[in-house]
Amino acid sequence: MKPVSRIVGALAACFTGAALLATGTAIAADNWPAKPITLVVPFASGGTTDIIARTIGQKLGEALQQPVVVDNRPGAGGTIGAANVARAQADGYTFLLATVAHTMAPAIYKSLPYDFTRDLDPVGLVALTPNVLLVNPAITVKSVPELIAYIKAHPGKVNYGSAGIGSTEHLSGELFRAMTGTDIAHVPYKGGAPMMTDLIAGQIQIAIETSPSAAPHVRSGKVKALAVTTAKRSGAYPGVPTLAESGIKGYEVTTWFALMAPRGTPAAVEQRVAAELGKLLKAPDVQKRFDEQGVTAGNLTPTQLAAFIRTETDKWGKVARDSGAKAE
């Protein structure tokens, strides 16, 4: 048996080490941020996720007195960017603007290099927005029933675009296909912006795109909005009905965006960011910009967000299984 003095000494060393570790974490949090912060956007620049990231990034940088640099890491329906953040050092200098697509991905891909709920901490819900069913003006339809009739009259000739396999546009399109029994083909892109470019040019015929990306093109007449995907109409699209009102009963999709951090990021840092995010989402200029885009600011605590993410993962897993959507 070891002498009591040696046991006491070992315990003291353990407690001292733990205290130093805790103190070091506290000091790191107290000094944070001491350099620019990276906000990873897992889709191409110009799309909805990018638009929202730049809106909150600027305001967050002002509050923290350090630049928030938006880093676009598109590809694989947002999973490349998510994997990048999941592997990042948990020091409070890297965050992810995740989307509903990240709760869809586990059911779409055979395997992922990260676990969304295990490897990332929820910091705050940033925004929610409807998706909008869009058509190229060359398709002379004025309603969802007319569009369905057009697709059935042209089987295999209508393509829908998305921001990538496993994206909200992808699953929204698959849900539309399954619920209407129509023959439409999926064309994935690396983000909403390049997809919108091809929709406007007529390379694809329809898309169910997120509101901020769609709104300016609807207002300019470059694309037509036939319906929104939420349970209620959107003030950003006066006169545009919901898909449920248009005859597709039970169709409801809301796209959301959440700030996430690598698991193990100091709690004090996450709490500071969550608090500053809550403040900026109430700022009049942010609310005005969101209103113009058909966006609603988020208001969930990190604990509530974690539960919400689990619910969304279950919901979209079922949609993917029922529709048969898979990464090609």
- Give the span between the Cα atoms of 51 and 70, in whole angstroms: 10
CA-CA distances (angstroms) from residue 227 to 142, 160, 179, 193, 311?
10, 15, 15, 20, 25
Strand partners, 69: 38
- Nearest by Cα to 277 from 129, 161, 122, 171: 122
| CATH fold for domain 130-228 | D-Maltodextrin-Binding Protein; domain 2 (3.40.190)
Whether a cis peptide bond, with omega within 30° of 0, leads into 266 is no
Alpha-carbon gap, residue 2 to 68, rounded angstroms = 54
Q: Residue-wise pLDDT tens for the chain (328 aa)? A: 444 344 334 434 444 444 444 444 444 567 999 999 999 999 989 889 999 999 999 999 999 999 999 999 998 889 999 999 999 999 999 999 999 999 999 998 989 999 999 999 999 999 999 999 999 999 999 999 999 999 999 988 999 999 888 888 999 999 999 999 999 999 999 888 899 999 999 999 999 999 988 999 999 999 999 999 999 999 889 899 999 999 999 999 999 999 999 999 999 999 999 999 999 999 999 999 999 888 999 989 999 999 999 999 998 888 888 877 777 6
User: Could you please report the per-residue DSSP string of 291-303?
Assistant: HHHT-EE----HH
Tell how strand 158-162 and strand 184-188 pair up. Answer: parallel
Report pTM. Answer: 0.83
Boundaries of every domain in the chain: 34-128+256-323, 130-228
Closest residue by Cα to residue 117 from 258, 267, 263: 263
DSSP H/E element including 225: strand 224-228
In this chain, the answer to whether the domains covering 34-128+256-323 and 130-228 adopt an identical fold is yes
Distances (CA, A) of 174 to 82, 84, 97, 150: 23, 27, 24, 18
**Token reading at 113:** 């290099």
Pick the CATH number of 34-128+256-323 from 3.40.30.10, 3.10.290.10, 3.40.190.150, 3.40.980.10: 3.40.190.150
